[in-house]
Amino acid sequence: MLLDNKVAIITGGASGIGRSTANLFAEHGAKVVIGDIDEIGGMQTVNEINKHSGNGIFVKTDVSKMSEVKTLVEKTIDVFGKIDILHSNAAINPKVNALETTEQIWDDTVDIGLKATWMLAYNSIPFMTQQGSGVIVITGSVHSIRGYAYNTPYQAAKGGVLALTRSLAADYAPTIRVNAILPGAIETPLWEKLGITPEEAKKSANMCPLKRNGQPEEVAQAALFLASDMSSYMTGSEVIVDGGLTSIIQQH
């Protein structure tokens, strides 16, 4: 029970990494608040948590809007009285290069993937500061540290997220710890939306030393580590969960 009696906000918790993290946090004793624009998926996550004797609620949230982020945080305080853990995890990933990126695509990607993290921190940090403790876990990506083709707005957002992690860590230590997770190729429902074929998935798997794609549960374990006291001497850091993808130069 690494998170016994802790209260955690998780955005993007309706599916994939967010859902797996929400379930794992609840298993370890956390009360979980899911913020997501996907009402059906968000309620499914909460139902899974509550079915297994956990304690979760869903707050429909468009994380690109300050007013809705503020409501998410205030609802958490109203229901549970505190915020111990903030896991900023929502993102979208349009596969476009710079010239294919429209202003709308850019704004949506950066607002959901980067600006939302700042807005969540902006609204949560005053409560964490008042209670004298808090942990922020931010989902970045291997795109935060490496270049990949046809990902211009997503790469910009994820690069910014890693810089924001360090900035928040510097500003709010020692009261609040802030760290990032950088997942590699993780098989989530987003893959279907992106139209990734089995052949493309296999090619992705073969690019990393472990020769397989990751699962959401494996990223959730890293989130649990960063959210708990197991990482008590870490802040401003990133944990890479990518099967070794970014550690090698591909030679064949």
Chain segment 38-68, per-residue pLDDT in tens = 999 999 999 999 998 889 999 999 999 999 9
Tens-place pLDDT, residues 195-234: 788 888 888 899 999 999 999 999 999 999 999 999 999 9
Whether 154 is a known active-site residue: answer: yes
Structure tokens at 203: 């090619």
Of residues 150, 154, 172, 233, which has the active-site annotation? 154
Per-residue pLDDT at 186 exceeds 80? yes
**183 three-state secondary structure:** strand
Q: What is the rounded CA–CA span in Å between residue 22 and residue 8?
A: 8
Is the CB of residue 22 less than 8 Å from the CB of residue 32? Answer: yes
Per-residue pLDDT at 251 exceeds 70? no
Per-residue pLDDT at 194 exceeds 80? no
Per-residue pLDDT at 191 exceeds 80? no
Q: What angle do CA 44, 49, 51 make, to 5 degrees?
A: 90
Tens-place pLDDT, residues 113-135: 999 999 999 999 999 999 999 99
Tens-place pLDDT, residues 1-41: 999 999 999 999 999 999 999 999 999 999 999 999 999 99
Superfamily of domain 7-244: NAD(P)-binding Rossmann-like Domain (3.40.50.720)
